[in-house]
Structure formats: C-alpha cells, structure tokens
A = this chain, B = another copy of it.
C-alpha cells in the first residue's frame, strides 16, 4: 500500500502556523484529555487536535478494518496491535479528509465541532501503556566520551561495544509525558574524598537527549524477530529525556548497571511520529567496522536524518540551546537493536519503549548530556541569562526538540520538556 499521506504537495483546509512540526504530512498519534475530562486518541495538524474516536464513530474510517472502540481508549496499544497495514490506511484516510480539495468534513460544521480541538484546550497524556522499557547505548561518540572520562582515554570503548548494541532494562512505571514536573531525587552517594556514603539530594542532575521507538507485538516467547522483519514491528518514534542523577548512578551501578540514578523519571514527547512519516528522511547509518554478526546485518538505509537539540530554560528567563545533534550519528540502527533484543527469544509487546541511548555528535557542541558538555563537571556551560551550568539547577526546564526537513516538507516531533522541582524537604 502506498503512503499517500506523505504526498508533499498536499495542502490542508486547516490552518498551519509557519514552521509547524505538524503539517498534514506528519499525522502523528497521541492520547489527550479534554476540558470535560474525556480521554481519547487523536492526531494533530497544525495546532488543531483531531479526535479520532469521534471521527471513527461518525463513520469516517469506513472500509478500514478497525475494532469499534480502537480510538476510544486511554492508550494506543490496541491500535498499534492492529499492525502496519491499518496504521497506514488510517493515516492515508486522515490526510485525505483534511485535504483542501476534500469538502466532506470541511463543510460539515457539526462534525467539525465534534472532532476538532485547539491544542490549547487539551492536555496530552502518555500515549502508550509501556509494558517494558529498554534503553540502548548506541552512540559511539557518547560511549567514547564516557569511556574517556571514567575509564581509559586510550581505550575508551569496551571490547563488546562494536559487536553488540549494548542495552539495559529501564523502569516503565516512571516514564512520564512531556510537561510532567521532575522531582530532584534523593539517594545514597559516595562523593569524592569521602569514605562512607552520604544521603541527600542529587547534586549532579543531568539530562540525556535520546529518541525512542515504540513496538507492536512481536512473537511468542522463544521466537526471534529477524532483522529483515524488524521494521514491521516498529510503530513510530518519540523524543526522550533519560534524566540521570550522576552521583547516585556512579555509586550504585557496578556491577548490575544503572538503577536509582535513572528510574526516578524518564520523559517522552506525547506525539508518536510514525515510521511512515519519517520514510522520506531515510539515510545510511555509519559504516560498521568490524562487520557485525549476520543476525545484526542488513543492507539498505536504516537510519534517519533527524535534527535534534536540547535547550535549558532557567526560571523566568530565556532558553539557551546547549546542544545540536542528529539521530543519524547513531552507530546501531533501530532494526539492529530490535533484532538483538529478541535474538535470545525475548518477547516484545505492543507499546514497548526502546530508547536509543544518549545521542552525541562528533563535536563538542553536539554532545547529548551535561556530563559530556561540562566534561565531567570540569567546564561551565554559559546560558543567555549570564548564568552558568555544570549540571541542572532547581527550576530549570529542559526542552528537547527534533525535526526532519527536506526541500518540501518539515516533520517535527513537538517538545519533550520537564522542569526540575526541588528535592522534598
């Protein structure tokens, strides 16, 4: 089936602000709650949120095999389970309905009123019930930076890193939607120069600029997803901030990996951008040397040219962009991550969240965490208001943004933001 929704020449009868992340070529999926406390599934064109539950009830998805309540839910899991063919049909249908040449809904005032909301009048919720959340560590530049700082500058990469997309399990319960307040965590730390651990609020609070993808159902336990099939099982992508308390993390993480230094909160953006929408922005991933094992090998363009940036906004002041990077720098692709994750028979479910790991670029202004930008706290980052940062301060808001752009179309992700609240008394 063709992805007619991606037609770059299509115009819509809805208003689109200049430089919007959400032209009619995007058509992402999310979950929102109205002022009347109705929770439903929607998409977004410009600054208009479209109630897909209402659209379905009014018959606009006729001819597409969808369960009756598929959009009248508080998560996208069920829709995602419907599979790629239906996602594509629904997205194509929405593009058609809002095409400027189509007057069916355009001229039906009652229907328009039932279906359309201003983004100002709704609140976005977490789009999926996340069964399991896995975070990878797939940026060569990030792994190298961390290795240089904490291990050996001459042998920064660990021996396994170029052979396997290293990953760990994260905490699903503390994944929150953009806009949720982030409480500075307390915990146990062993600061330099001390010989017994202390307890207190983290002093080295950091962001990690990441993306994540959301899966549909894989196979039963025991059966792997071959790399050639991986794309069938990826619904779409979000931006992610993997908040990290470096002092807690440093003391706890040997030998079983990050735990309380990470699981106090992870923020994702509310709109899932479909892989179909990202299709025009495919690029080759970096050359891999040594060649990975066959189960991790696939020909073709399996990365995406997604511009990413992170900004810090101190309370009452303007934001400063502190890093600009790109998804395409990632060494391991999403297909490789998914093939690796299931090679042992581990089962994947609809709504699972798989993070990229911190995405750092090759230059100092493209690093994806304050740990790297401040080089372990040895350098200060200047903000526009004249203040400086090594790590995050209370009331700082961190905003991650991402978009793809070619000559005809700009597909954006919207914001992934969170504001630091002071630690509890």
Identify 15 new A-B residue pairs, CB closer than 8 A, beyond the known A160-B190, A163-B197, A173-B349.
A163-B188, A163-B196, A168-B256, A169-B170, A169-B263, A173-B346, A174-B346, A174-B347, A176-B221, A183-B345, A186-B224, A186-B343, A254-B255, A260-B346, A264-B346
Instruction: Verify A169–B167 contact, CB threshold 8 A.
Output: no
Residues of chain A touching chain B, judged by Cβ–Cβ distance below 8 Å, are 131-132, 137, 158-160, 163-164, 166-174, 176, 180-181, 183, 185-188, 190, 196-197, 199, 221-224, 245, 248, 251-261, 263-265, 290, 293-295, 340-341, 343-349, 352, 421, 424
Q: Which B residues are CB-close (under 8 A) to A132?
A: 171-173
Instruction: Verify B344–A196 contact, CB threshold 8 A.
Output: no
What's the least CB distance linking A423 to chain B, in Å?
9
Q: Which B residues are CB-close (under 8 A) to A343?
A: 186-188, 260
Question: What CA separation (Å) do A190 and B290 show in the bound complex?
Answer: 15
Question: What CA separation (Å) do A29 and B255 show in the bound complex?
Answer: 35
Q: Which B residues are CB-close (under 8 A) to A265?
A: 221, 345
Question: What CA separation (Å) do A383 and B222 show in the bound complex?
Answer: 28
Question: What CA separation (Å) do A131 and B169 show in the bound complex?
Answer: 13
Instruction: Verify B199–A295 contact, CB threshold 8 A.
Output: yes
Instruction: Verify A172–B173 contact, CB threshold 8 A.
Output: no
Known: A168-B168, A252-B160, A293-B199. A187 touches B346 (CB 8 A): no
Q: Within the complex, which residue of B172, B181, B260, B261 is in contact with A340, where a contact is CB–CB below 8 Å?
A: B260
Q: Within the complex, which residue of B174, B183, B187, B344 is in contact with A187, where a contact is CB–CB below 8 Å?
A: B344
Question: What CA separation (Å) do A229 and B149 show in the bound complex?
Answer: 40
Q: Which B residues are CB-close (under 8 A) to A190?
A: 159-160
Q: Which B residues are CB-close (under 8 A) to A254?
A: 158, 160, 255
Q: Which B residues are CB-close (under 8 A) to A196?
A: 163, 290
**Chain B residue with Cβ nearest A135:** B256
What's the least CB distance linking A145 to chain B, in Å?
13
Instruction: Verify B131–A259 contact, CB threshold 8 A.
Output: no
Question: What CA separation (Å) do A78 and B381 show in the bound complex?
Answer: 49
**Chain B residue with Cβ nearest A170:** B169
What's the least CB distance linking A136 to chain B, in Å?
9
Give me the 8 closest cross-chain CB pairs, A-B, nearest first. Answer: A257-B257, A185-B344, A183-B222, A168-B256, A169-B169, A256-B257, A264-B344, A260-B344
Question: What CA separation (Å) do A132 and B221 show in the bound complex?
Answer: 18
Question: What CA separation (Å) do A221 and B223 show in the bound complex?
Answer: 35
Question: What CA separation (Å) do A176 and B221 show in the bound complex?
Answer: 9
Question: What CA separation (Å) do A195 and B81 show in the bound complex?
Answer: 42
Question: What CA separation (Å) do A14 and B183 show in the bound complex?
Answer: 53
Instruction: Verify A346–B263 contact, CB threshold 8 A.
Output: yes
Q: Within the complex, which residue of B163, B263, B345, B424 is in contact with A185, where a contact is CB–CB below 8 Å?
A: B345
Q: Which B residues are CB-close (under 8 A) to A259?
A: 166-169
Question: What CA separation (Å) do A103 and B282 show in the bound complex?
Answer: 73
What's the least CB distance linking A233 to chain B, in Å?
14
What's the least CB distance linking A421 to chain B, in Å?
8
Known: A169-B170, A187-B344, A293-B188. A222 touches B424 (CB 8 A): yes
Known: A163-B197, A257-B257. A186 touches B252 (CB 8 A): no
Q: List 11 A-B contacts (CB under 8 A).
A: A158-B254, A159-B190, A166-B252, A168-B256, A169-B263, A174-B221, A174-B345, A186-B343, A186-B344, A197-B293, A260-B340
What's the least CB distance linking A261 to chain B, in Å?
8
Q: Which B residues are CB-close (under 8 A) to A168?
A: 168-169, 256-257, 259
Q: Which B residues are CB-close (under 8 A) to A295?
A: 199
Residue from A158, A183, A245, A349 with most neighbouring chain B CB atoms (10 Å)? A183
Instruction: Verify A164–B188 contact, CB threshold 8 A.
Output: yes
What's the least CB distance linking A163 to chain B, in Å?
5
Q: Which B residues are CB-close (under 8 A) to A172?
A: 131-132, 172
**Chain B residue with Cβ nearest A167:** B259
Q: Which B residues are CB-close (under 8 A) to A158?
A: 254-255
Question: What CA separation (Å) do A132 and B169 show in the bound complex?
Answer: 10
What's the least CB distance linking A113 to chain B, in Å?
35
